[in-house]
Amino acid sequence: MITDMTFLFCFLPIALALYYFLDNKVKEFILFILSLLFYAVGSIKYLFIFSCSVAITVLLGRTMTKAKKNCNKKILLIIGIVLNTGLLVYYKYTDFFISNLKLSFIECKTKNIVLPLGISFFTFKSISYLVDVYKERAKLEVNPIHDALYLSFFAQIQSGPLSRYNDMSGNKNKFDFDLFAEGVYRFLIGFCKKILIANVLSNVSTEIFGTSFEKLSTSYMWLGSICFSLQLFYDFSGYSDMAIGITNMFGYNCPENFNYPYMTESVSRFWRRWHITLSSWFRDYIYIPLGGSRNKHKWRVYFNLFAVWLLTGIWHGAAWNFIVWGMGYFIAISVERLLGLPQKINSFIGKIIYRVLTLVFINFQWTIFNSKDLISALVRIKKMLIFTSNKITDRRTAFLLKDYAFFIVVAIVFSIPVIPWIEEKTKNNKYMYALYEILSSIIIVGAFIWAISFVVAGQNNPFAYANF
């Protein structure tokens, strides 16, 4: 939705104009109303449910701050968590439970429930809000509209980042030019990542993952899985950049969500770089409350890890392949913890090999993630591991490589910290840094115009995390 022309050239400029030219007392209320309008465009069927969820969560949070007895606070917290979790479970997992009952030969029909927009994200934000209020970690503002805006802000409602209440701070009474300019820059970067790289690579991955098993060759499948790994990174990090950019434009702060994840040294460190706000959410609200790593019983530490990764898999989707995907990370991280990897690898070559093996494992994981079900995921991985050839698809592999080589190379190059390296090398020379800033600005504006032409031509896919 935030890559649509109507949003870019109508909704966003109008929202910014209203926010900065209206009185400070009403600007957050107007932004809240605009956020509801944005939600209505994306999911009008569930606008009432979403509005009620936001209102009830804010009411519980505000009542919690006035409760004098700790037991009353705890009751309000439990009610809030149960209501929000119940909403998520019903809409996201009812059909999954019913379909598994069918396998047990129990007669029942799936309801084909359509997910409310961003339900996984606003549910987790609601839970973090309630827990932080209960533990007095959230410093609530006087106006409860700020709370409602935090839960519903249109920039983050679709696919995050999963910011905390205290993250959405900022000087709302004064225009911060530097923050606004940084926001515009981040938005343009994210827009180009989504349209020029993620959407283009999706042409390859969609074709290959849609090909019947008997026609797949090993090279064809590897190309599809690598393109999907790159596509998902640019799609999701692109959305995060745009969300952070929009948040900055309105004078608020927003946490980072990606930090060159494919530069990871290990599987466990990958999740300190990928979807950082989700990882920190599970750490703070599930892993640490369960006891975390500081437990005298080692088995309890691994149980805590098991619980976190089971829930992470379930959160990502109501299907067995997502559960297996989560368990894959649990096993890999547990093995690294048991063997002390990669810390115990001393040689440079050994560290490089381990990094490559880590990326191969992550690539297999994304293959499971992008498959329709567990069986198809296993068949695709088998195709990747056991060499098979097919004249038609092998020729198609060569054709796709030739046709999309430029975009694949660009995707690989910018998945490593090239830009920070250039900035570091030029920052001490004001002439070189000025030249870098001029050239990068020209390139970004040119890329944005090119990306706009793609959208106008109808080449604009939904975000990969839009149905979460």
Q: Are 244 and 386 in contact (CB under 8 A)?
A: no
When mean pLDDT is compared across 92-106, 268-282, 382-396, the lowest value belongs to 92-106
pLDDT at 25: 84
Mean pLDDT to the nearest integer, 121-144? 95
0.85 exceeded by pTM = yes
Residue 387 has pLDDT above 90, yes or no: yes
Give residue-wise pLDDT tens across range 95-122.
Answer: 898 888 766 666 677 788 889 999 999 9
Torsion of CA 157, 160, 164, 166, to 10 degrees: -80
Distance CA(451)–CA(242), nearest Å, equals 14
Determine how many CB atoms are found less than 10 A away from the CB of residue 353: 13
Closest CA to 1 of 51, 37, 38: 38
Residues designated as active site: 316
Q: What tokens appear for 277 in the block?
A: 């706000």
For all residues of the chain together, what is the average pLDDT?
A: 93
- Is the CA virtual torsion 283, 284, 285, 291 positive or negative? positive
Give residue-wise pLDDT tens across range 168-218.
Answer: 876 666 788 999 999 999 999 999 999 999 999 999 999 999 999 999 999
